[in-house]
Amino acid sequence: MKSYRIALIPGDGIGKEVVPAGRQVLEALAGTESGFQMEFESFDWGGDAYRKHGEMMPANGLDALRGKDAILFGSAGDPDIPDHITLWGLRLKICQGLDQYANVRPTRILPGIDAPLKRCRPEDLNWVIVRENTEGEYSGAGGRVHQGFPIEVATDLSVMTRAGVERIQRYAFKLAQSRPRKLLTVVTKSNAQRHAMVMWDDVAREVAKDFPDVACDKEMVDAMTARMVNRPASLDTIVATNLHADILSDLAAALAGSLGIGPTANINPERVYPSMFEPIHGSAFDIMGKGIANPVGTFWTAAMMLDHLGEAAAAARLMQAVEQVTANPALHTRDLGGTATTAQVTEAVCAAITSSRPLATA
Ligand code: ATP
C-alpha cells in the first residue's frame, strides 16, 4: 500500500483549528478502501515559536520539509507580531525556499452557498487563478535608508525575470488547456508599468504560440475587478503577477460566498521539492478558539493535495462529501450565515466519506 509523508504546519490563529480538521478527514479517507496511507508529522512553527525562540521556523526548517511528499499549512499571522515578520518568516520562506512558483486558486460556488452576486448562476463562476509565487512585487528586494529621519527613503522593488515569467505563463497555458473551455486571461498593467509588465505581455504572446488551442485574452488588472463582478462567465483560467493575483483571488473568494471556503496550492511543478497546500484565508484571530472556523477551505485544499499526489479518486470522493455537506444549510458555519461548529462540519464530512461508495479509480 502506498504511504505518503505529510508535513502539517497549523501555524497561527484558526490554522490550529482547521489543520487538525483537515487531518481528520484525510484519515477518514485513508481509512476507507482508498489504497493509501498517510504518515503525518506536525511542526509547531508560527507566532508562538517566534515569541519563544525569536524565529517563526528554525533556520534549518526547510531540511525537515524536503523529504515530505506534501505540506498542509494553516495560516501565519499574529496580532502581536508585525505582518511582514510572520509572512516572510514562514510562508514566503517555504514558498521561495522550495521553489513553489505556481500558486493555484480554484474558485467555484459550492452547492448550498448563497453567493453575493445576484445575477450570477453557480455555473457562471468556475475559475482558476494562477499566481506567480516567487518574485514580482514580493521579491523582497528593496530597503530603507535614513530610517526615522525626515529624509527617509523606502523602496520595494518588483523583480520580474524572463525565466520566472515564462515558467508561470507556461504553467497557466497548460492548465487552461486541460480545462474544458481552454480559455486563459492574462492580467497585466502594462499601460502604466512600461518595463516589466510589457515583458510579461511579450512573454505571454510568445508562449501562446505553443498553445494554439487555447483562446487567450489580455485584461488590465483594474478592469479585471469589474469584469469579475459584471461578466464572471467570460472567465475561466486567469494568470497574474504575485500582487495582482493576491488581490484578485481574495475578491474571487468573496464572490464565491466566503473567505472560509477557498483553497490554495503552492506548487513546485517539477516535483523537485514538496508542494504546499493551504486554505486561502488567514489566521482570523477574531474567531480563534471559538470552534466556529469554517474548515471547508482546508478540506478543498486537502482534495487539491490528493490530486497532486495522484490520488484523483480520493480527491473526488472528498469533494463529493464536502459538496454534500455545504448543500445542507444546517451545516453552515457563521461566515455562511449558519450556526454549525468546526467539529460538526468535520464530523459530517467524515460521515459522508465513510458512507459514500468509492469512485472508480481515475
Ligand atoms: P491574516 O492577517 O492572517 O491574513 P486576517 O484575520 O486579516 O488574517 P483572514 O483570516 O483572511 O484575515 O479573514 C478575514 C475575516 O474573514 C476574518 O476576520 C474572519 O472573520 C473571516 N474568516 C476568514 N476565514 C474564515 C473561516 N475559515 N471561517 C470563518 N470565518 C473566516
Give, for ligand 1, the residue of 259, 288, 296, 333 to mutate: max count of ligand atoms closer than 8 Å to Cβ.
Answer: 259
> Global pTM?
0.93
Which residue ranges in the chain fall short of pLDDT 70? Answer: 33, 357-362
**Residue of 205, 179, 20 whose CA lies nearest to 104:** 179
| Mean pLDDT, the chain, integer | 95
215-220 vs 183-188, strand pairing mode: parallel
Q: What span, in angstroms and rounded, lies between the C-alpha atoms of 109 and 126?
A: 8
Q: What span, in angstroms and rounded, lies between the C-alpha atoms of 230 and 224?
A: 10
**Structural domains of the chain, ranges and CATH numbers in brackets:** 1-102+285-362 (3.40.718.10), 116-255 (3.40.718.10)
Q: If you take atom 17 of ligand 1, which residue's CA is the nearest one?
A: 284
Q: What span, in angstroms and rounded, lies between the C-alpha atoms of 208 and 59?
A: 40
Expressed in angstroms and rounded, the spacing between residue 351 Cα and the centre of ligand 1 is 27
At 219-242, the pLDDT tens digits run: 999 999 999 999 999 999 999 999
Expressed in angstroms and rounded, the spacing between residue 281 Cα and the centre of ligand 1 is 5
pLDDT at 362: 41
SS3 state at 320:
helix
pLDDT at 358: 58
Q: If you take atom 21 of ligand 1, which residue's CA is the nearest one?
A: 284
Expressed in angstroms and rounded, the spacing between residue 236 Cα and the centre of ligand 1 is 26
pLDDT at 173: 98
Ligand 1: residues with CB < 6 A are 14, 75, 77, 259-260, 281-287, 293-294, 297, 333, 335
Q: Which runs of E-coded beta strand occur in the chain?
A: 2-11, 36-42, 70-75, 102-108, 126-132, 136-145, 153-159, 183-188, 215-220, 237-240, 263-267, 275-279
pLDDT at 357: 64
pLDDT at 32: 79
